[in-house]
Structure 1
Amino acid sequence: MEDWTVTVGQATTSARQRARRHDREIIALAVPAFGALVAEPLFVMADSAIVGHLGTPQLAGLGVAAALLATAVSVFVFLAYATTAAVSRRVGAGELGAAIRQGMDGIWLALVLGATVAGLLLAAAPALVGLFGASPAAAPHATTYLRISALGIPAMLVVLAATGVLRGLQDTRTPLYVAVGGFAANAALNLALVYGAGLGIAGSAWGTVIAQNAMAAAYLAVVVRGARRHRASLRPDPAGIRACARAGVPLLVRTLSLRAVLMTATAVAARLGDTDIAAHQIVLTLWSLLAFALDAIAIAGQAIIGRCLGAADPEGARAACRRMVQWGIASGVVLGALVVAARPLFVPLFTSDAAVRDALLPALLVVALGQPVAGVVFVLDGVLMGAGDGSYLAWAMLLVLAVFAPVALLVPHLGGGLTALWWAMTLMMTVRMTTLWLRARSGRWLVTGAVRA
């Protein structure tokens, strides 16, 4: 009996030690990642604040161009996710040189895609602005901003890929420093070029292009230094670039499906009326901000899971997954409580319209209740990305879209307004959680080795 007690005590102590080790690692990776994630939207906020003083047509033009740019760049977020998974596996296997070489393949792919998208935007800018319904006064400003900013798209995609390289190397601090530096440079350049040089909205676009290229250069300097240290080739490898593209396709499908969900929700809100679409935009903005906090844990999951599987440690991957799910649930509960408690403080910042507030408040309660579910979704999404399980994520997200779209489209006919729409969004997240949980529980994602077979 005494031996049994000692054994149980040792096992409990060992489990606690593992949990504390995972906690330290999650915090070390997630906190800087959160800072970098939040810094990125500040680019647009700074541009909006500076351009807004030029006039309403300029600000409206910026809004249209920024939406087009965000769409053009966000669909390629797989450059970060797929690269993180591939590089972290190599790190876990102890193959640092090969890890950096694989990261370079992702960066070369980013340059190819960036040059292609930039060329398309330069040629199609007026037509795209017209499709977005920009007014005659705003359209010239939107076209100017979009064409100049297109020159920065290769750098933006390089930043995504290089961020994935560093995350895979278990480094989320450098992306934080680069993001903060880029934000500061962007704000200073915008002020100098918009007002000091008198370039107007064109100055804002040039400031952002310069800042984005400076960020890409900073990332490349770090990666090149690592490549030289570990004698990894920097030359483009066509086979490696094609492999990166193939690995990214399922994640591209996943991202496009998620974008379709959000676009469907916005389209439905627009059909509900001006009051509901205004309130929806506020709720969606808050929901996206909360997602940054939860996505930081997911990024830690990508790096940790990939490394564990690369080191042929499936039990370590399972233990890390369990601990991160606990973090996701706890973070969701805290964020949900903050939404409820802080409603009287932040709602007046967004609107003074009583009708919008009336539509907004019950929808916010639905968002708050759904945060623990969102916490699990983001964590498991990151875990499966880190495992390189992109094909499953693509099919699962297509299923989620197939369930969500008809439910959301029924909202205007069945009634319930914006609150009903956000219950549909909560249903969407619950379906996502179910698909991800079933996959995580199955263990089929636990494929070990430096390269996922």
Structure 2
Amino acid sequence: MTEKESLFSSSSDWMRIPVLTFFKDARLVFKSDSLGREILSIALPAAMALTADPIASLVDTAFIGQIGPVELAAVGVSIALFNQASRIAIFPLVSVTTSFVAEEDTLSGANSHQVEEYGCLEAATPPDAETKEFLPQKNSDVKSFNLVKDVEHKRRHIPSASSALFIGGILGVIQAILLISAAKPLLSFMGVTSDSPMLHPAQQYLKLRSLGAPAVLLSLAMQGVFRGFKDTKTPLYATVAGDATNIALDPLFIFVFRMGVTGAAIAHVISQYLISVILLWSLMKQVDVIPPSIKHLQFDRFLKNGFLLLMRVIAVTFCVTLAASLAARHGSTSMAAFQVCLQVWLAVSLLADGLAVAGQAILAGAFANKDYEKATATASRVLQMGLVLGAALAFILGTGLHFGAKVFTKDANVLRLIRIGIPFVALTQPLNSLAFVFDGVNFGASDFAYSAFSMVIVAVISIICLLILSSSGGFIGIWIALTIYMSLRAFAGFLRIGTGSGPWEFLRSQPH
């Protein structure tokens, strides 16, 4: 072995350490190569769509903040409760739908290439001599065959898409009934007692907004389907159209018609149904949304993996909801400030979720094709992009939120608490970005079991921290506990790939 070969071998052995995957081709993080363009083409529209709804909620918050701090706090509790209920219902469905649709679309794409090459529907091998006798041999016959094939496959048959729509619609109706019928006890759990001035506006807003739950869950299920197709532009267009409608109707209903928080809720419900109609119309042009029979629906597969992610999302939801509940127990001033900080925290953090969506869609296809080289390169690139994005967001929020806080409220006490929360909102952005991107990477590898059980452990530790630090540190204590929570989430994601375990075991045997 020559000196050069020996050096290359040693380098390859060194690069087999799984944790070094995070540094693979780090110099290419900003390079506009094919992988970079593919990631950005999915991530940018996805991030814009994901942040559109929180931005609309921020607009709601800004308009309602002009009414008064009590109404602002009341709507803050209601939004937190509605969003967390929606997240419990839809997050598992969206996540598994994206992975399943990406896998099915990738494999059906491979099949169609073989159909074009061999003129038959056998996916694995070329036709044998006996099969060839039944295939069209003349050019005219081939053209006729391909024309029929194109007509038949103009709309794709993706079983996971039909399953997602059916489940999403059912869950939406269930959520609406639950939130409307149990609004008062749920708000009481959130810290809004029967003698609180927040109760009436909070209950009013929650019941009205819950009427839009079927549209919210159905539209999010369809977004999961489009993400699986690596099409994040269609959900973006639909979301922007809906949220622009919401923003236009807010001042009309709140101030012109003097409907207050009721008007804000009605505007939001109208916007959600508009989004749902646009997405369904677009999806029906691409996919056979009605399956040939109920046997084609993949309920078993959805329920098995969906249950794992349901455990995970309940753990996540309980942490965030508990934080909001603890803030509400400190009074309307604390809750109003917490609502503003939380909405900003979540809205900008969701920019990283765009990278997570891109990573999940690309990785699901790569794992379906057993293309581990692309899987490694994709995971490295999106994680590196996530870290850079988090650092940029930290700088922007740290410098800009001090001046922008007055957009949400004029109350001096609320502003004082918001300024206390700004350092936590800003400095946790790198952690948030990595945590969200790690989620997408592990979902892309269909590593749902690890994602669920690790999150339960993280939640247990975080809940203990929230209870202890909230009682001793008040508003600041809640944000310290949330910082610990996001740190643990990021570490749990790092641990799986960094140790080369589970679906990432191939990292131990392949040079990077």
> Where on the TM-score scale, by shorter chain, does this alignment land: which range?
0.7 to 0.9
Output the CA distance in 1 between the equivalents of 2:206 and 2:255.
19
- The answer (yes or no) to whether the contact 1:85–1:168 under 8 Å persists in 2 is yes
2:449 equivalent among 367, 380, 391: 391
Q: Percent identity?
A: 30
The question of 1:88 aligning with 2:102 is answered: yes
Pair 267,220 (structure 1): closer, same or farther in 2 beyond 3 Å:
closer
Match of 2:282 in 1: 222
Q: Which deviations, in whole Å up to 9, do the C-alpha atoms of 1:339-389 show, x marking residues without a partner?
A: 333354234555677776676556543444433233222111111112221
Q: Which deviations, in whole Å up to 9, do the C-alpha atoms of 1:188-227 show, x marking residues without a partner?
A: 4556666777877655544433332222122112222112
Please tell me the residue identity of whatever aligns with 1:149: R
Q: What's the offset of the Cα at 1:280?
A: 4.3
The question of 1:118 aligning with 2:176 is answered: yes
Larger radius of gyration, structure 1 or 2?
2
Output the CA distance in 1 between the equivalents of 2:480 and 2:196.
38
Pair 408,189 (structure 1): closer, same or farther in 2 beyond 3 Å:
closer
**Matches for 1:107-186 after TM superposition, within 5 Å:** 107-128=165-186, 132-133=192-193, 139=199, 142-186=202-246
Q: What's the offset of the Cα at 1:153?
A: 1.3
Pair 129,357 (structure 1): closer, same or farther in 2 beyond 3 Å:
closer
SS at match of 1:212: helix
The question of 1:439 aligning with 2:505 is answered: no
The question of 1:338 aligning with 2:351 is answered: no
The question of 1:103 aligning with 2:116 is answered: no
Match of 1:72 in 2: 85
Match of 1:451 in 2: none
Pair 438,447 (structure 1): closer, same or farther in 2 beyond 3 Å:
closer
- The answer (yes or no) to whether the contact 1:186–1:208 under 8 Å persists in 2 is yes
- The answer (yes or no) to whether the contact 1:108–1:236 under 8 Å persists in 2 is no
Q: What's the offset of the Cα at 1:169?
A: 0.3
Output the CA distance in 2 between the equivalents of 1:191 and 1:352.
18
**Matches for 1:49-60 after TM superposition, within 5 Å:** none
Q: What's the offset of the Cα at 1:176?
A: 0.6
Pair 170,353 (structure 1): closer, same or farther in 2 beyond 3 Å:
same
- The answer (yes or no) to whether the contact 1:87–1:99 under 8 Å persists in 2 is no
Output the CA distance in 2 between the equivalents of 1:426 and 1:122.
33
Any stretches of 5+ residues in structure 2 without a counterpart?
A: 10-23, 113-154, 507-512
Q: Which deviations, in whole Å up to 9, do the C-alpha atoms of 1:145-178 show, x marking residues without a partner?
A: 4444333211111111000000110011111100
- The answer (yes or no) to whether the contact 2:398–2:427 under 8 Å persists in 1 is no
1:426 equivalent among 463, 483, 508: 483
Pair 166,371 (structure 1): closer, same or farther in 2 beyond 3 Å:
same
- The answer (yes or no) to whether the contact 1:100–1:232 under 8 Å persists in 2 is no
SS at match of 2:454: helix
Output the CA distance in 1 between the equivalents of 2:425 and 2:404.
15
1:306 equivalent among 364, 382, 388: 364
2:435 equivalent among 377, 381, 389: 377
Match of 1:292 in 2: 350
Output the CA distance in 1 between the equivalents of 2:251 and 2:34.
45
Q: What's the offset of the Cα at 1:106?
A: 0.7
Q: What's the offset of the Cα at 1:251?
A: 1.5
- The answer (yes or no) to whether the contact 2:359–2:382 under 8 Å persists in 1 is yes
The question of 1:28 aligning with 2:88 is answered: no
Please tell me the residue identity of whatever aligns with 1:310: A
Q: Which moved more, 1:438-447 or 1:42-51?
A: 42-51
Output the CA distance in 1 between the equivalents of 2:487 and 2:69.
40
Total equivalences in the alignment: 439
Q: What's the offset of the Cα at 1:392?
A: 0.9
SS at match of 1:445: helix
If asked which structure has higher relative contact order (CA below 8 Å, sep 6+), I would say 2
TM-score normalised to structure 1 length: 0.81
- The answer (yes or no) to whether the contact 2:69–2:333 under 8 Å persists in 1 is no
Please tell me the residue identity of whatever aligns with 2:305: A
Please tell me the residue identity of whatever aligns with 1:434: F
- The answer (yes or no) to whether the contact 1:336–1:370 under 8 Å persists in 2 is yes
Pair 85,338 (structure 1): closer, same or farther in 2 beyond 3 Å:
same
Pair 136,237 (structure 1): closer, same or farther in 2 beyond 3 Å:
farther
TM-score normalised to structure 2 length: 0.73
Please tell me the residue identity of whatever aligns with 1:158: L
Q: Which deviations, in whole Å up to 9, do the C-alpha atoms of 1:87-142 show, x marking residues without a partner?
A: 11122223597773211101100111112222333433455456633668765555
SS at match of 2:310: helix
Pair 206,241 (structure 1): closer, same or farther in 2 beyond 3 Å:
farther
Pair 341,251 (structure 1): closer, same or farther in 2 beyond 3 Å:
same
- The answer (yes or no) to whether the contact 1:61–1:142 under 8 Å persists in 2 is yes
SS at match of 1:312: coil
SS at match of 1:94: helix
Q: What's the offset of the Cα at 1:300?
A: 1.4
Pair 61,354 (structure 1): closer, same or farther in 2 beyond 3 Å:
closer
Instruction: Determine which structure has the larger helix proportion and give its number.
Output: 1
**Matches for 1:178-327 after TM superposition, within 5 Å:** 178-189=238-249, 204-228=264-288, 233=291, 236-237=294-295, 239-267=297-325, 280-327=338-385
Output the CA distance in 2 between the equivalents of 1:325 and 1:386.
13
- The answer (yes or no) to whether the contact 2:364–2:445 under 8 Å persists in 1 is yes
